[in-house]
Chains A and B, each alone.
Chain A
Amino acid sequence: DTAVSQTPKYLVTQMGNDKSIKCEQNLGHDTMYWYKQDSKKFLKIMFSYNNKELIINETVPNRFSPKSPDKAHLNLHINSLELGDSAVYFCASSRVATGPNYNEQFFGPGTRLTVL
């Protein structure tokens, strides 16, 4: 069974469109994340959700909105897509952070978004 899954794997769309990427984890984790990997392969955190509440929003344009219907899902909705949004988007999950303890993140396979 896939631990962290994302759909679709590839997404090609026109500028100005609205699109969503879905993420599901079956690990029983409480925290989920979205990362963006740009054309230079640099990976950066976008959002972190803990028990359906937003924890981190790293200066991401408000055209990006994470939606968590339950703690096993964290979808990424993008409005008014721009050329610069073309990237690979990774979902990840972990157990909830407790004090100084760090819990390992597990990554999905990524969604390659191309905006034309």
Chain B
Amino acid sequence: AQSVTQPDIHITVSEGASLELRCNYSYGATPYLFWYVQSPGQGLQLLLKYFSGDTLVQGIKGFEAEFKRSQSSFNLRKPSVHWSDAAEYFCAVGAVTGANNLFFGTGTRLTVIP
């Protein structure tokens, strides 16, 4: 069965510091991987996605993620965090099972200290 684990419930970083949010997945076939961001009181916005090809994918707002099949990971990174990046981040794996099913991790809340 598909599953996604985000080991860090809450991360605090200083503005300007680098960031890495961890994501591990379990899926029997080629995974389709996503990172979404949810700002307080807002909906979900897609940051980036991996379908195939280059394992380092670039997204919006300066984010990138690297797919590592050997580690079943898809960690999200940003070299320099801005205060506006404070939000909830969700990793998800997509599976085609009659529909485009999407399984989410439990999220990582990011706090940015000025």
Chain A residues with a Cβ under 8 A of chain B: 31, 33, 40-45, 48, 50, 55-56, 90, 92, 94, 97, 99-110
Contact = CB atoms under 8 A, between A and B. Distances in A.
Contacts of A50: 98-99
B100 interface: yes
Contacts of B104: 42-44
B60 interface: no
Interface of B: 29-30, 32, 34, 36, 38, 42-46, 49, 51, 88, 90, 94-104, 106-107, 109
A57 to B, nearest CB: 11
Nearest to B46: A104
Given A40-B106, A102-B94, A110 B100 contact: no
A44 B94 CA distance: 13
B43 A103 contact: no
Given A56-B98, A103-B100, 7 more contacts: A31-B99, A48-B100, A90-B43, A97-B98, A102-B51, A102-B96, A109-B42
Given A42-B104, A90-B43, A104-B46, A99 B99 contact: no
A55 B96 contact: no
B88 to A, nearest CB: 6
Given A43-B90, A107-B43, A94 B106 contact: no
A104 B99 CA distance: 11
A100 B95 CA distance: 8
Contacts of B44: 90, 107, 110
A42 B100 contact: no
Contacts of B96: 97, 99-102
Nearest to B95: A102
Contacts of A102: 32, 51, 94-96, 100
A48 B107 contact: no
Contact of B100 (A41, A44, A97): A97
Contact of B88 (A41, A90, A92): A41
Contacts of A56: 97-99, 101
Minimum-distance CB pairs A-B, first 9? A109-B43, A48-B99, A102-B32, A43-B104, A107-B44, A55-B99, A102-B94, A41-B107, A94-B100
